[in-house]
Structure 1
Amino acid sequence: MKLEIFDFIEEATGHLCELEDQLEEASDELEKFFEFEMEDFEGFLNINTRVKTKMSLKEKILRNNYYSRYENAEEMIYDLSDLIGIRIECRFIEDENKLYRKLLKVFDVTEDGKYFSTESNPDVKLKLDDKQPQRQKNGFKIFRIDGKYRLGENEITFELQIKSLVNMFWGEIEHKILYKNFNYVMIEDFFRDIMGSIKENLSMIDRQLMILHDHINEMDEDNDEVRKNQFQKLLSKMIHNMYSHKIKGDIGFVVDFRKPCDIIVKYIFEKSKVYDVSSYSITFLGILGRLKDVSQNEISFIEYIEFERYIKFEDEYEKRLGEPILGSLNQDFMWNLLFRILFDIEIGTDTEDFEGFIAFIKDEFLENLKSNGKLNSRFEDWQRNDIVDKVMNAIADVFQENTCIEFVNYDNIERINSKITTRVNRVKNFEDWRDQAFEVVENIKQDIRDILE
């Protein structure tokens, strides 16, 4: 049986095909309109338009988990802000702001204070009440404006961007190397630092050389922890590469699943009770042999996951973490993908592997609390247990309200644990805990929500 999300995708791409002629017509009309409005501006270079493709739509649905956010595919299609993409290209970065100011002057007719049109063409509307430029997830800013175009009786959404030559150059590099390239890059953070340096200031060569120097020193450092991380990174890369081919062969394209590969590797090494470098080498070779064994296995990424028996949880913490995942397993593609790969690699039943993984995630948070030196020295056992119980339930509360796979990305687990340690260590004694427990717990919940945004 197919995952429902793929039926949703088929329905969505069907609606997109039905709109194709209208979108192409609207794209042509909008290109002509904005070219006419901008042609007398000194910094203006070109207008570039594109209509969203079926493959791009498929990737966006999976990446943003739209299946769980919309009642049906048609509603989602008409709610997308970028069925048509329009880019006004200009010479310099300062021209971006000047072009935006020009749009504010030209689009001066409004009925609701949000969307504005021109006197010459009321069918083209721009949402100009948002602050511009907008800050992206990567930290950089972009002039990005939502728009609507009335074509006959239909209203079609589009996204307008204003970009200088430098930012177009930067955007192409980022899009191909970091955003669309899902091949695992072992030194991804290094590349991000280099590209961020170029974006901020092309003359900061010394900064680039410093990053390069530090990176090479770290790779050569004779340090057990560094070597362990290298083992895990290499194995995660190999798993990613192997399953990338399988995913592309099954669904036609590859999604970004590097973070799930990282947590799978962490789980495998933890399950193997590997604590020293020599054991890491042995375990690493064993997993390589297992990957070789399963490399020829046929695997489907569009089918339901079904278990051989009911899942058993060891305690309430595991139950509160595990049940939301069970509910999302055949609804959320990334959860399904994580466990599909884990079950394929691990020896044993799928049920046992699922139970083991949930116990592992629980312990990643629980052991952080149990190993807290200040928590152990300041409180008696029963007092410490009360604190641990409330904090663990706070984690479960947020997980149940937002069962996203980002919760188990290992860097997020470390960030959550760091925030929890900081909050708990501020409590000096149990009397303070009684007075502050509610506030501390609520702050921890908000910390986690902020990390997952």
Structure 2
Amino acid sequence: MRLQVFDTIEETLDLLEKKEAFHHEVKHELHAVLKQLLAGCNDMVVGLNSRVKTKDSLREKIIRNRLYVKYNSAQDILDTLSDLVGFIIECRFIEDEFKVLTHLRKVMNVQGEDGYYFHPDFPNFHLEHGSRQPQIQKNGFSIYRIDGYFLKDGQRVNIELQIKALVHSFWGDIEHKLVYKNTNYYVYDDFMKDLLASIKANLTITDRQLNIIYDQMQEDSKDGKIISESSFERQISKAINDLFAQKMYESLGFTLNLKNTSTILGHYLFIKDIRYGGVSNDRISALFKTFKKLNSTKMDFESEIEVSDNFYSPDIFVHTLGTYLISVINTDYDWFIFFKMLFSIEPGNNFEDFTLFLNVIKNYLVDNYWLNTSFVKLSMEQSSLLHDELAKMLAASLTEIGTIEIIYDKHMLAINKAFVVFVEELEKRVISYSDFMQYQSAYYDEWLHRLRKIFED
């Protein structure tokens, strides 16, 4: 004979399913209300996430919290659930959590008879924001969690509202995966608590560092300055290294030294987004959201990267170097790891990311304005042909070196300086395009010799 507890559970789940569409309507209406209530927090709030209670989640909660014992009917269970609809207000930094709560307390300042507060323009949405915040969870950590409800068509739907900084949201995902969603047998002992506390402490430090960087960005943008590499690039590189080391270990059972690759990617993001993309106040937030998403994504460091063999770019440098990299992307593991990480971080498709990366590298190695103003003593047609030949020569020489070291920062700086000197010397020696082409092979060998010296030092 079936246990009665499962009859109660099934009745409750059936009732939840019947009300699912209604709950989604509440979620959408409340999302619009919260956006208006948070209009004064645009400099702090970076996201508003929501969800409706699912059957799987409710089934687990009924058993875990013994709701089948506490309540007599399915309706009673649903009526007493505090989180039929859940919202997370995602803040940029930890210090913004209290600021957002303070803002909600200020705008939702009318107290009802039940002790909950509401805004006069939105009388259907009530929050118990006067309660002590943050709350202390069972794990000993604090959280801004507020009970509330929404009235629609004469029905009350209970709401749970959380206010979380990006790093807290990131850490919460880690804890949820390690503890609540892990079915392996182990004791949640001091070791696990210390481990989670250590992770949270490191993220809190990162939050403070990024907060300082963000404040500096705000000041610098007012003054027309660009943020320095030391205050942005290193933090991004470290975040990349830590994240992908974990993902590689999960995939392979071991990890390689990713420091150089992570530094390259951190530098790439810096020169792409800041040096060439201009200052954006939401860059740090966007990157944290990307890292948060990647943290919950399984990565495969064994299967080939899918890229088209028919790569083409009208830019001769990009086309030459790009064609080579595609030929080795799945055979040279250093390049494979690099592009696996790059394609995971960047939001576009692989072809777009690949082309953008090559263009940023070219812009770093060769200043287009400088190159295009060389050989001015020749006709425009001849100088243009020479510019293309020189760009092709540079790209071809990089493929001869071949290794990922060609995009190490110290090497790119040295290549840039050496190439400037080489072209300036050619300007004095070359009298025409045909003259250059006659001795092209010798010039290439001379340049390649200089390039190889960079990698020998």
Give TM class, smaller chain. Answer: 0.3 to 0.5
Q: Which protein has greater RCO, CA pairs closer than 8 Å, 6+ apart?
A: 1
TM norm structure 2:
0.44
